[in-house]
């Protein structure tokens, strides 16, 4: 792989372990509606495509459930006040981001999480220049639109930009954005779930990413 001067980061499962807080928000919504709640392992398999998809997988009959929109509202009602209860960066991630800043590497976060939450979490943990989440203006990943917007704001060159994420959604996002991709193995997907997808590059620890930076 070439050396890069720009990184587009996924957030959940890549920079932050958000799983417990996502589970709690999902289960708050399910409890409000009288539905069965979910284990952490179940939520792990549901995440990656945004909250609407998460709730679709978490309630009976998904989008066909008459309470589907309400389940999404209840999730947000809880999550807006509890997104920092248990969420924390993976070991070594903050140090890596700070070292990349010191080296002059441009960085953005692009997430299928709701935009307000992405910006709040970035402000609390990372303070990279660009943090984009889902809005009504752009389609969610794996569509390339948010990635392209981040690259435009960073004035990034496609040839020296790499996308870093933990899931199959991230691999497809990178492909759709015509970017190289590094898959991290400390996140929401296990190695045996990512390896069959033939990722370009896999890393076990954050400091390995420095090997790919200019």
The Cα–Cα gap between 128 and 95 comes to 13
The CATH architecture one would assign to domain 6-17+88-212 is 3-Layer(aba) Sandwich (3.40)
Nearest CA to 149 among 173, 123, 121? 173
Task: Provide the 8-state DSSP code for 117.
Answer: H
- Give the H or E element holding residue 142: none
Q: Where are the domains of the chain?
A: 6-17+88-212, 19-82
* pLDDT recorded at residue 48: 86
Query: Do the Cβ atoms of 29 and 90 come closer than 8 Å?
Result: no
* pLDDT recorded at residue 161: 98
* Interacting residues of 101 by C-beta distance below 8 A, sequence separation 6+: 107, 128
DSSP 1-48: ---BSEEEE--BTTTEE-HHHHHHHHHHHHHHHT-----HHHHHHH-S
The tens place of each residue's pLDDT in the chain, 214 residues long, gives 789 999 999 999 999 999 999 999 999 999 999 999 999 999 999 998 889 999 999 999 999 999 999 999 999 999 999 999 999 999 999 999 999 999 999 999 999 998 989 999 999 999 999 999 999 999 999 999 999 999 999 999 999 999 999 999 999 999 999 999 999 999 999 999 999 999 999 999 999 999 999 8
């Amino acid at each position: 792989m070439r050396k890069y001067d720009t990184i587009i980061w996924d957030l959940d499962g890549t920079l932050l372990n958000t799983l417990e807080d996502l589970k709690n928000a999902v289960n708050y919504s399910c409890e409000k509606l009288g539905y069965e709640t979910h284990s952490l392992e179940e939520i792990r398999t549901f995440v990656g495509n945004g909250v609407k998809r998460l709730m679709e997988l978490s309630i009976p009959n998904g989008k066909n459930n008459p309470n589907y929109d309400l389940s999404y509202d209840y999730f947000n009602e809880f999550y807006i006040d509890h997104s920092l209860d248990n969420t924390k960066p993976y070991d070594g991630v903050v140090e890596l981001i700070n070292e990349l800043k010191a080296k002059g590497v441009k960085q953005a976060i692009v997430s299928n999480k709701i935009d307000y939450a992405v910006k709040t979490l970035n402000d609390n943990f990372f303070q990279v220049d660009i943090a984009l989440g889902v809005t009504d203006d752009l389609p969610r990943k794996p569509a390339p639109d948010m990635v392209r917007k981040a690259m435009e704001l960073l004035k990034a060159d496609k040839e020296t930009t790499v996308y870093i994420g933990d899931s199959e959604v991230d691999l497809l996002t990178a492909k759709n954005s015509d970017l190289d991709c590094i898959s991290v193995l400390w996140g929401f997907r296990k190695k045996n779930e990512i390896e069959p997808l033939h990722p370009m590059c896999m890393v076990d620890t954050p400091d390995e990413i420095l090997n790919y930076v200019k």
